[in-house]
Amino acid sequence: MVTRDAVAVSAPGKVLLAGGYLVLDRAYTGLVFGLDARMHVVVEPISTTNGVVLNEIVVNSPQFADAVWEYGYRLVGRGGGMSITQLRVDADLSLNRNIFIETALGYAISYIAAVSSPQITPASVTILADNDYYSASQPNDKNAPKARFHNFGVPISKAPKTGLGSSAALVTAFTAAMLSYYLPKDLFDLSTEPSKRRLHNLTQAAHCAAQGKVGSGFDVASAVYGSCLYRRFSPNILASSADPGSADFATALKDLVDETSNADGSASTWNTEIHRDAVKVPKGLRLVMCDVSCGSQTPGMVKKVLAWRKQNPEEADAIWADLHTANESLAKEMKAMAEAQNFGLERLRACFTRIREVIRLMSEKSGVPIEPLAQTELLDACEKVDGVIGGVVPGAGGYDAISLLIEDKVEVIAELGKLLAGWRFRGEDGKSESGGRVTILGVREEMEGVRAERWADYKSLIAT
pLDDT tens profile 127-137:
999 999 987 65
Q: Alpha helices of 27-98 — where are they, by DSSP H?
A: none
Q: Taking the CB of residue 158, how many other CB atoms lie within 10 A of it?
A: 11
Start-end of H helices in 71-217: 99-115, 166-182, 193-211
Res 92: pLDDT: 53
Under the banding of pLDDT at 50, 70 and 90, the label for residue 435 is low
Whether 8 and 173 have beta carbons less than 8 Å apart is answered as no
Q: From CA 290, how far away is CA 402, in angstroms rounded?
A: 5
pLDDT in tens, 382-404: 999 999 999 999 999 998 899 99
State the pLDDT at residue 144. Answer: 54
The Cα–Cα gap between 11 and 31 comes to 18
Among residues 75, 70, 41, 76, the alpha carbon closest in space to that of 56 is found at 70
56-60 vs 30-45, strand pairing mode: unpaired
> Angle between the 193-211 and 166-182 helix axes, to the nearest 10 degrees?
130
Q: How far from each other are the two terminal CA atoms of the chain, in whole angstroms? A: 20
- The answer to whether residues 198 and 258 touch, using CB atoms and an 8 Å cutoff, is yes
Range 243-247 contact pairs with CB under 8 angstroms and sequence separation of 24 or more: 243/106, 244/80, 244/81, 244/82, 244/83, 244/84, 244/106, 244/107, 244/110, 245/76, 245/80, 245/81, 245/82, 245/83, 245/84, 245/106, 245/110, 246/80, 247/78, 247/79, 247/80
Which pLDDT tens digit goes with each residue over 343-393?
679 999 999 999 999 999 999 999 999 999 999 999 999 999 999 999 999
- 261: number of Cβ within 10 Å: 14
Confidence of residue 219 (pLDDT cuts 50, 70, 90): very high
How far CA 436 is from CA of 139, 157, 236, 321, in Å, comes to: 17, 19, 40, 34
Residues 83, 77: contact at Cβ < 8 Å? no
The answer to whether the CB of 77 falls within 8 A of the CB of 65 is: no
pLDDT computed for residue 433 by the predictor: 46
Domain annotation for the chain: domains and CATH numbers: 7-276+449-461 (3.30.230.10), 281-446 (3.30.70.890)
| pLDDT surpassing 90 at residue 148 | no
List the one residue out of 4, 48, 12, 3 whose CA is nearest residue 33. Answer: 12
What's the pLDDT tens digit per position in 400-427?
A: 899 999 999 999 999 999 999 988 877 6
pLDDT bracket for residue 21 (50, 70, 90): very high
Average pLDDT over residues 70-82: 86
Q: Give the model's confidence band at 141: pLDDT under 50 very low, under 70 low, under 90 confident, else very high.
A: very low
Report the alpha-carbon distance of residue 408 to residue 432 in Å, rounded: 31
Mean pLDDT of 142-155: 78
**How many degrees, rounded to 5, is the angle at CA 119 between CA 118 and CA 120?**
105
Which is more confident, 112 or 95? Answer: 112
pLDDT recorded at residue 95 = 72
Catalogue the long-range contacts made by 147-151 (C-beta closer than 8 Å, 24 or more residues apart). 148/461, 149/62, 149/63, 149/461, 150/63, 151/62, 151/63
In this prediction, residue 426 carries a pLDDT of 72
- pLDDT value at position 217? 96
Q: Which residues contact 299 (CB under 8 A, 6 or more apart)?
A: none
- CA distance linking residue 309 with residue 312, whole number of Å: 5
Distance of CA 362 to CAs 87, 296, 321, 372, Å?
48, 17, 12, 11
Whether the Cβ atoms of residue 353 and residue 347 lie closer than 8 Å to each other: no
Task: Please answer whether residues 13 and 133 qualify as being in contact, where contact means their C-beta atoms are separated by less than 8 angstroms.
Answer: yes
Bigger pLDDT: 218 vs 433: 218
pLDDT (mean) for 280-290: 95
Percent of the chain with pLDDT over 90: 69
Percent of the chain with pLDDT over 70: 88
Burial class (CB in 10 A: 0-12, 13-18, 19+), 232: buried
CB contact at 8 A, 398 and 298: yes
